[in-house]
Amino acid sequence: MDKMSSITPEDLADSRERFGAERVNAVAKNAVTSSGIRAAARRPEGVAANALGFDLEVTQGDRCNQERSGRCWMFASLNTMRYRVIKKYNLMTFELSQAYPLFWDKLEKSNWFLQNILDTLDEPLDGRLVSFLLADPIGDGGQWDMFRSLVKKYGVVPKEAMPETACSRNTRELDRYLTRYLRGAAKRLRQSHEAGVGTDDLLAMKKQMMDEVYHLLAVCLGEPPASFSVRLRDKDQKLALSGTFTPQEFFKTAVDMDVDAYVSLISAPTADKPFGHTYTVSRLGNVWEDHGVRYLNLPPAELKRVAIAQLKDDLPVWFGCDVAQSYLQDEGIMDTAALDVDALFGFPVEGCMDKAERLDYGESLMTHAMVLEGVRLDEKGEPTLWKVENSWGKDHGRDGFDTLSDAWFDEYVYQVVVDKKYLTEEERHTYETEEPTVLAPWDPMGSLA
């Protein structure tokens, strides 16, 4: 037996002896087995640093709840837009329909998937690319650029015009059956190609498949309205907006936001993505004719700079992060100083990799999108604490919002979306003119919030 390659009885005896020799190990064991790792690693001093009070703050309406769905990117996007409606018409609160973009996103993602299947008919079925495409064809997640594509094509509607359904509140069944259908459709397209069916006939097959996808979505979510009536009353109960609108007309009238002016900035310090350059991700998107995503990679300090500039103009900021890291979820606190997991175990666990290494080794990526709606600044004007609007309902965190420390921002915020007017002239020129480096479909910057 190779004693250096296997776990031997002697190894186990040594580990048992070393663990029992330190009293602190017994204390840690008792604490963790009773309450869990994060509760035992919780630092009250770190928690205390997250006391409320912000120098810049926008005030939203009632907190929204994505319930059992992965629509955080939609909620975050709509929350930046509903703020404009609340502000423009002096409303107490207002909510845009989240079921409406869900319908169109599933439809567009289905078309995107089938187009990619047609584009990879000669790729091996068990190769990495086709396996990747088949893994999660129409998941709930997305990115800002994908939401921008939806809004430009389909507009938005008030929540009352397309309310939630059982399948939008909990998308598990919808995703399961639509994914099964699409994988079956991919099989039929590939088998037809192998049998010699031509391109035009394959495209005709895909058109029929998309009609069936529409049917499935309409059964689960209802049909999106082509037009609807609106009556909004302000805080004084005066009629602020009324009429009949198409979704595109309502977006233009009520939201009045130039979505093309908003750009995605990422912060990925890996060797393959030098700062100051643009990137895109192969085969990532939803609306086929609107292409995919485009990023400018910058250090965290620059993401903070533009986020603060936009908050100063009384506008919230969409951002994407790895929400599960160093997170006290019940308290709504994201702070690297609020937990000390490494002290609990006695050796580096959280501290065993830096940000770039976490990305390279699959330990971290963007998992959730939310909205920055406030920031606390020190005497030099530098950020110390951020206020976050989440989409997990008013009972989460502190009345539905979280805080994140500036150190947490450095480590786990990967993307912000701001008006490009806040970029420097050089940054704006690079974003608009540089040919982006194409990243592999499985690159961590292609993850969906």
The whole-angstrom separation of Cα 206 and Cα 34 is: 55
Burial 7-18 (b: 16+ CB within 10 A, else e): eeeeeeeeeeee
Torsion angle in degrees (nearest 10) through CA of 94, 99, 100, 101 = 100
The whole-angstrom separation of Cα 317 and Cα 302 is: 14
Q: Pick the closest to residue 193 from 136, 286, 114 (CA basis).
A: 114
Strands 333-334 and 327-328: what pairing? Answer: antiparallel
E strand spans, 184-272: 228-233, 239-245, 262-266
The whole-angstrom separation of Cα 217 and Cα 219 is: 5
**Catalytic choice (50, 116, 286, 390):** 390
**Catalytic choice (50, 64, 65, 72):** 72
Active site (annotated) includes residue 170 = no
- Give the DSSP H/E element, type plus range, for residue 255: none
Active site (annotated) includes residue 291 = no
Cβ-Cβ contacts under 8 Å for 116 (sequence gap 6 or more): 133, 283
Cβ-Cβ contacts under 8 Å for 332 (sequence gap 6 or more): 390, 396, 397, 398, 401, 402, 403
Mutual orientation of helices 99-119 and 199-221 as an angle, nearest 10°? 160
Q: What is the three-class DSSP state of 56?
A: strand
**Type of residue found at 67:** E
Q: What is the three-class DSSP state of 363?
A: coil
Active site (annotated) includes residue 167 = no
The whole-angstrom separation of Cα 362 and Cα 218 is: 37
CA distances from 203 to 64, 119, 125, 131, 194 (A): 40, 11, 20, 22, 15
- What residues act catalytically? 72, 368, 390
